[in-house]
Amino acid sequence: MSTGQAGSIRWGALSITGNFRENNEDRFLIDPQGRFFLVADGMGGQSAGEKASALAVELISGKLPGQIHFQNSSPAAVAEGIHRAVCHANAEIMAMGELEASCKNMGTTIAFVVVVNQTFHCGGVGDSRVYLQRDGQLTQLTEDHSLTQALVKAGTISVEDAKTHRYRNVLYRYLGTKEGNAAIEPQVVAPRPGDRFVICSDGVSDGTTPETISQILTENSSPQTAAERLVEAAQAGGSRDNITCVVVFVDG
């Protein structure tokens, strides 16, 4: 649980192990000044997934302030700064995977919102997501780096087929592999009063629907309550993973 406020934004967050896992391999990190919000979903045997996600949020959060001027960086400079921070984390996760037998093949997703000069830069690697609700309309701002999404883009399967496809949770790009160094292309959003952002692991998206997410965001005036309700809904909806959610509200 994590609540806070900076300027015109308020936030809340919750992460739980869920009904089907013995340990929580998700991690989230929120900058106390509200400059960035991170969610990571680790993978790997033993406790390797926990190590990968913890490393990702620790290293990226430590690197970002040295890469970005949060008051006046251009969108291109922000994208480059995020890319450097993510590549730094990716290299360290890959190195640990090679050096420690218990960490072999470990990896993690990352989803982020970075706030620079009152503009939101949203993106990710893997299948953790960022959503924006504006004027009652929910939009997914990130693209899943999963085999099913690649098949959808290729026209091989439908969006409906992808929801139950056996490869829906198989990723072709995540931190801990050389593909994790691919270019970061954040979605740049000029926030409006009333905007509501969700940064979440696939535990949320697998256990809910966009309609449910949108309804919960609409019905709750507290971002912390919204985060808790989203996690509850995903758990009740049969999510078989850890469930992590960060909610950011933009006020007037």
pLDDT, tens only, 116-152: 999 999 999 999 999 999 999 999 999 998 888 888 8
Closest to 200 (Cα-Cα) out of 212, 192, 189, 190: 212
Q: Output the pLDDT for position 39.
A: 98
Residue 187 has pLDDT above 80, yes or no: yes
Q: Output the pLDDT for position 137.
A: 96
pLDDT, tens only, 29-88: 999 999 999 999 999 766 789 999 999 999 999 999 999 999 889 999 999 999 999 999
Q: Output the pLDDT for position 168.
A: 75
Instruction: State the Cα–Cα distance between residues 80 and 171, nearest whole angstrom.
Output: 24
Residue 200 has pLDDT above 90, yes or no: yes
18: left (phi over 0), alpha (psi -120 to 50) or beta: left
Residue 162 has pLDDT above 80, yes or no: no
Q: What is the mean pLDDT of the chain?
A: 92
Cβ proximity of 34 and 5 under 8 Å: yes
Instruction: State the Cα–Cα distance between residues 94 and 88, nearest whole angstrom.
Output: 10
Cβ proximity of 141 and 131 under 8 Å: yes
Q: Output the pLDDT for position 33.
A: 95
Residue 1 has pLDDT above 80, yes or no: no
- The strand pairing partners of 58, in sequence order, are none
Please report which helix (H) or strand (E) contains residue 243, including its range: strand 243-250
Q: Output the pLDDT for position 123.
A: 97
Q: How confident is the model at residue 170 (pLDDT cuts 50, 70, 90)?
A: confident
In this structure, what token pair is assigned to residue 212? 């449910």
Distance of CA 213 to the CA centre of its chain: 15
- Per CATH, the homologous superfamily of domain 4-250 is PPM-type phosphatase domain (3.60.40.10)
Average pLDDT, integer, range 199-213: 95
Q: How far is CA 10 from CA 32, 107, 197, 245, in A?
A: 11, 30, 10, 14
For residues 97 and 224, which has the higher predicted lDDT (pLDDT)? Answer: 224
